[in-house]
Chain A
Amino acid sequence: MMADTGSEEVAVIGNTDLTPGEIENNIKNTMGEVGDEEIVLPKKMEINVAEAEKRTVKNAVNMQETYTVYLIETRPADDASEGTNPTPDSLWRRYSEFEILRSYFLVAYPHVVVPPLPEKRAEFVWHKLSADNMDPDFVERRRVGLENFLLRVASHPILASDNIFYSFLTEENGWKEAVLETGFQAKADSRLKALNATFRVKNPDKRFAEMKHYGDELQSVISQLLRVRARVADRLYGVYKVHGNYGRVFSEWSAIEKEMGDGLQSAGHHMDAYAASVDDILEEEEHYADQLKEYLFYTDALRAVCRKHELIQYELEAAATDLSTKKQQQEELATGTVRTFSLKGMTSKLFGQETPEVREGKMKVLEGQIQEGEEALKEKNTECDEFVRSAWSEIERFKDQKNHDLKEALISYAIMQISMCKKGIQVWTNAKECFNKM
């Protein structure tokens, strides 16, 4: 993918990611820590976020801090262990450690659409749901989300074989040091800066541009859907709950009636049941909302990959421009003509030509620069091609996963609605029978 000549601007944006070489180093380093045994990165591992617990500690400034930790259980799921069912290994991790792991992935594998974590704070809540992070329902849903995250990573062909991931699952202590040693944090900051910088790519890849646009659309529409759904849930809750009042009044009314008493009383019970049924209905719907949220958060990762491509493309174009400028300078020096304006050229015109020795020196420098530039361009091209290839296959993989998962989510939503209708039919049929006995 060649960039054309044109703009004068030559911005050098440093490579913020770990090169393949660095990643290899990581593996070598951690290898040393774990021991001399061959690192078996178990491809099939059962992972389970089993529990959540509250911890209270005194932090660095001697203040009480409460946070939640999650128990991660792992069990090798290879043939050898079948039938033996060994007790799982387990360790405790808190949410912030998950965040570190994910940040590491983003820096180490820029072409991968990294699975998202469950939300840090409860959003898109309808009134009855608590927005409190310590709320047990929220903690429970987050536990499920964290497990989902780990399972997603474990089933990703590239991420699953990462050693930092392995030790995240298996080494409670020392993991943090190991991941910090990769030096990803420094890279993380400049990566973020680079991704947010504005720059213009002359020849954007249509596919990536479309994918980025799709990511934006998906984010917008899922946000809207979640908002509307929450409001609808809120209202539905109100409708069901008011029916509970029928239960109370029917019961009171039945006390003053003779023939109608029994019918009213039992009808009242069904009204109570109806009012109560909405709690389960809406709790189930939260799972559906969580499924949508996962893909809402996925859009960030998708956009990041597209953005990364833009960046590489931009750097490629910059390298090509740089090279062509140098070549032009070389030509001018050789022919003595000044086609392009430069301060040096003007001054030499004003103050006389350079001596042949000076010119000779400049030529040599330029030649060296051109050679470097050509190598750099070749490298950039390779990098770009590789990135495009791997990123695009990642994106395709993501697309298939998304289509499958969301279709399943819609199906499960339909099943929920069906269940809700069936409950409604049952309650009102029962109520009608009671009314018949009035």
Chain B
Amino acid sequence: MSGNVADSAISPTSPAQTIPADLSGQMLELDEDDDLEVFSKDTSITDGGSFNASMPTSPGSMINQYKFDEEDEQEDPGAKDIFITVDNPESHVTTIETFITYRVLTKTTRSEFDSSEYEVRRRYQDFLWLKGRLEEANPTLIVHPLPEKFVMKGMVERFNDDFIETRRRALHRFLNRVSEHPILSCNEDFKIFLTAQAWELTSHKKQGPGFLSRMGDTVRAVAASVRGVKSRPEEFNSMQEYVEAFSQKMTSLDRITQRIVKEEREYLEELKEYAPTYTLWSGSEEELAEPLKGVASCVDRCFQETEEQVRQFSDTLAPALHEYVLSAETLKAVLRRRDFIQAELEAKNEALAAKRADRDALKEEIDKLEDRMEWANNALKGDWSRWQRSMRTDLKEVFITTAQKNVDHYEKCLAVWESFLLSMRSEVGDINQPSSDDS
């Protein structure tokens, strides 16, 4: 029996998701259904969509299908009905350990929430737990990555301010992305994460699948990976290829960006001594004192502007690229989990063909597995195009911002030097003024 997803009663679905079998009539009234408000923006009734895996997997239930299409891009930001902020990191010291908690503030008009505002404190472990639960409930949906546990390179301390800030931003993005996902945002654990008080969450966490059943899952996963998939559908093969290549490119871009930051910092180190040298010189001069001080001040301004520019790379571009490195790993895991389901199915089919075990029981299992396979594949396909759109939007935006920041940087430096030049020439009244429009 498959254990960890479809039949699990562990993650209670939100009321909105237990949709009765005969849905055809109700589909047309989605917009009026407050509970499903979150879906109304981006759904249409066609096949090929996917739905929450916690639903009983009967073919009938597959009628309620959603397709993630171009409408996603036209999401009206004004229609957003849940706003989550992660801020205010605080350090907690106990006898056993020291850790950071973050304030998670939720403001929502969604009816499944009893109140319109919640404020809780969560630590990184809690986020990890949430992500795990989301993936368990939806193995082939693409969940936004979490920031890493710790960074080896450079031995960044866990309690270093920059590290905490970077992590805070990533956690903020994580929760917001989950809240924007049509299926994940309805997840019950997500709601509990946002609303439960510390002790409530702890006790809820304890209700998770037992150790033994988790062990069983792991064993099966290993067995499945050893078994391998016999005939993976072509589209998943091309997804696999894409993900491999994408992951490589992102890793390269991440590394290049880190390297640029490093080089810029070393450049700034040297530049720091440059302006003072001109100032020192101006002390020995009379007529040259003004021009020298002018150059010193220009160099100094450019130094400050460069510091700003580096910040853009390190605070915005690098984290964004790094997130997609992690996201690529998520994609690989999703594809693996899908393969795992397929491998199980294939194994069961082989067993049937070999007429080994009880045929009827086996047939029933296979039916269930086939349902699981189908919605797993559809879920992945749907989320895949959603992911691609997000990726394109995210990276396009961050590249544009970076390019703009660089343009701004050069324009500011240009202005500084041009005004210096102007002051020099107005003194001399240069006859032979070379045009400043040289390019």
Contact = CB atoms under 8 A, between A and B. Distances in A.
A187 B292 CA distance: 40
B263 A235 contact: yes
Contacts of A249: 249, 252-253, 256
Contacts of A413: 295
B288 interface: yes
Contacts of B420: 414
Interface string B225-264: 0000000000000000010011001001100100110011
A418 B436 contact: yes
Contact of A252 (B249, B266, B295, B424): B249
Nearest to A407: B291
Nearest to A218: B284
A438 B392 CA distance: 8
B105 to A, nearest CB: 33
Contacts of A425: 407, 410-411, 414
Interface string A246-267: 1001001101100110010001
B392 A418 contact: no
B266 A421 contact: no
B413 A435 contact: no
Contacts of A421: 410-411, 413-414, 417
Given A221-B277, A260-B392, A435-B396, A239 B267 contact: yes
Interface stretch (A130-138, A192-200, A222-230, A358-366): A222-230
Interface string B260-283: 100110110111011001101100
A266 B35 CA distance: 46
B259 A242 contact: yes
Contacts of A432: 400, 403-404, 407
B301 to A, nearest CB: 11
From B298, B417, B421, residue with most partner A Cβ within 10 Å: B417
A229 B299 CA distance: 12
Interface in A385-438: 403, 406-407, 410-411, 413-415, 417-419, 421-426, 428-429, 431-432, 435-436, 438
Contacts of B407: 424-425, 428-429, 432
Contacts of A42: none
A378 interface: no
B438 interface: yes
B429 interface: no
Interface residues of B, number: 56
B406 interface: yes
B298 A414 contact: yes
A191 B205 CA distance: 93
Interface residues of A, number: 53
Given A418-B421, A435-B396, A410 B295 contact: yes
B439 interface: yes
Contacts of A225: 277-278, 281
A307 interface: no
B418 interface: yes
B399 interface: yes
Contacts of A419: 438-439
A425 to B, nearest CB: 5
Nearest to B284: A217
B396 A438 contact: yes
A144 B256 CA distance: 39
Contacts of A428: 403-404, 406-407, 410
Given A256-B245, A428-B403, A432-B404, A228 B417 contact: no
Interface string A205-238: 0000000001001100110110011011011101
> Which 7 A-B residue pairs are closest in the complex by CB-CB distance?
A432-B403, A235-B267, A424-B410, A421-B414, A428-B406, A253-B249, A435-B399
5 contacts: A232-B270, A260-B396, A418-B421, A425-B407, A435-B403
